[in-house]
Amino acid sequence: MTSFEGFRCTDCGATVDEEGSTACPACGGVLDASYDLAGVSLDRESFEEREGAWGHRELLPLVPSGMGEGETPLVAAPRLADELGVETLHVKDEGHNPTGSVTDRGMALVAAAADRGGADTLALATTGNGGQSAAAYAARAGLLSRVFVPSRATFVNKAMINVHGGDMRVVEGRFDDAHESYETEREELPAADEETWFPAGAFDSPYRHEGAKPVYYEAVEALEWSVPDAVVVPVAHGAVVAGVWKAARELERLGLTERTPRVFAAQPEGCAPVVEAVESGDDPAPWDVPDTVVGTLEVPDPAGGLPAVEAVRASGGTGVAVDDEDALDTAATVAQHEGLEISVACGVAAAGAWQLREDGELAADDTVLLVNTGAGSKDADVVRSRLMGRGM
């Protein structure tokens, strides 16, 4: 049923058809699933008839059983649209996923691939949400999880990794410190018969970003096949922005939509390697001194930096960086004016949308899609602290 052909290395272009490959055997580069779209016959009606987040099986490398991820609500935000000065604004609310973040979509694929490949452990370094998700999906699949988080990860993330029975290493410092610790341990792993790790980090395998594609499929279907003018996405590792753009191109090539949206990458000013690369025209370079209260976006050297930058450029979009206070205030504004609980990462994207409107990148007749990557309640303390600091 699937039109899946195999994986292609995004760095050297090698094609890889061995099942179970996670990185390019030739160069270690990031793999991306490729499909024979000419052989896919999907019309809008058949697309709409499919049940569940993984109904579009022709466009997947494998179909996970999952635990209710995806099919998240697309919520209209008319007051914000008025304030922003655009035609319509919709929020794709990924906080409704099983562990409250968009990561669950890709993690369902990761867990299925790990199980099929005979691995017994999901392992990753994470800013937090990915670890919570990995611990949950490992538990679901009967696998172990080993999660390396920086000490600054949120209480909810750390607590829930424990609650799911994950083995958690809290590494003093930031994401890069956690990632270094993960790499060291991975290299020191004893013989594979003792413990077989499946890499569950973003772009450590071809699955996380592939799992983000339905975010866009579902949104466009809910908009009755009208393509938004702009999609504004908060960027950490780059999986969602790459997945959304890939999905947009697939729907266009299949003739289900007539065009693709402009895709905008939003990052905090204190850690904006993707935005900087989009603006400079160069490849992304590691961010020297990452410093933002938006911990989920504090990824100084994103594994999917290049795919993310290429997605934004190819779409005709651009990058936008906002300061932390602006992001927190905007998250509170969305909660107060629309009732929606968005993550502070989405606060970055929402504040970015305001900046893009001021810069003339968004127009008065635009329809705008904002991706809320996680549940607002996970970030309650940081937004509340900001409000109290302002005496509110």
Nearest alpha carbon to residue 261 among 355, 372, 373, 367: 367
Q: How far is the CB of 25 from Zn ion (least distance, A)?
A: 8
Looking at the Cβ atoms of 2 and 21, the one nearer to Zn ion is 21
Report in angstroms how near the CB of residue 307 gets to Zn ion at its nearest: 13
Comparison of 29 and 206: residue with beta carbon closer to Zn ion: 29
Nearer to Zn ion, 20 or 316 (CB): 20
What's CA 194's distance to the chain center, in Å?
Answer: 32
Closest distance of CB 210 from Zn ion, Å: 17
In the complex with Zn ion, the residue whose CB is nearer, 14 or 62, is 14
CB 228 within 8 A of CB 340: no
Query: Nearest approach, Cβ of 28 to Zn ion (angstroms)?
Result: 7
Sign of the alpha-carbon torsion through 16, 8, 67, 195: positive
Compare residues 29 and 374 and give the one whose CB is closer to Zn ion.
29
Q: How far is the CB of 284 from Zn ion (least distance, A)?
A: 18
CB atoms within 10 A of CB 174: 20
Q: What is the 3-state secondary structure (H, E, C) of 180-229?
A: HHHHHHHHCCCCCCCCCEEECCCCCCCHHHHCCHHHHHHHHHHCCCCCCC
Residue with tokens 């993984």: 54
Task: Give SS3 for 31.
Answer: strand
Residue number, 11 or 177, with CB nearest to Zn ion: 11
Question: Residue 33: what residue type?
Answer: A
Instruction: Work out how close the CB of 367 gets to Zn ion at its nearest, in angstroms, rounded to a whole number.
Output: 38
Q: How far is the CB of 118 from Zn ion (least distance, A)?
A: 24
- Residue 264, amino acid: F
The contact set with Zn ion (CB under 5 A) reads 9, 11-12, 14, 24, 26-27, 29
Alpha helices (runs of H) in 196-323, residue ranges in sequence order? 207-210, 213-222, 239-253, 273-280, 305-315
Compute the least distance from the CB of residue 9 to Zn ion, in Å: 3
Q: Smallest Cα–Cα separation from 334: which of 324, 325, 347?
A: 347
The HSE-up count of residue 103 (CA atoms within 13 Å, CB side) is 28
CB of 89 to Zn ion, least distance (A): 40
Phi, psi of 243 (to 5 degrees): -65, -40
**Extended strands (E) in the chain:** 4-9, 15-16, 31-35, 74-76, 88-93, 121-125, 144-150, 167-171, 197-199, 230-234, 262-268, 319-322, 367-372
| d(C-alpha 290, C-alpha 174), whole Å | 9
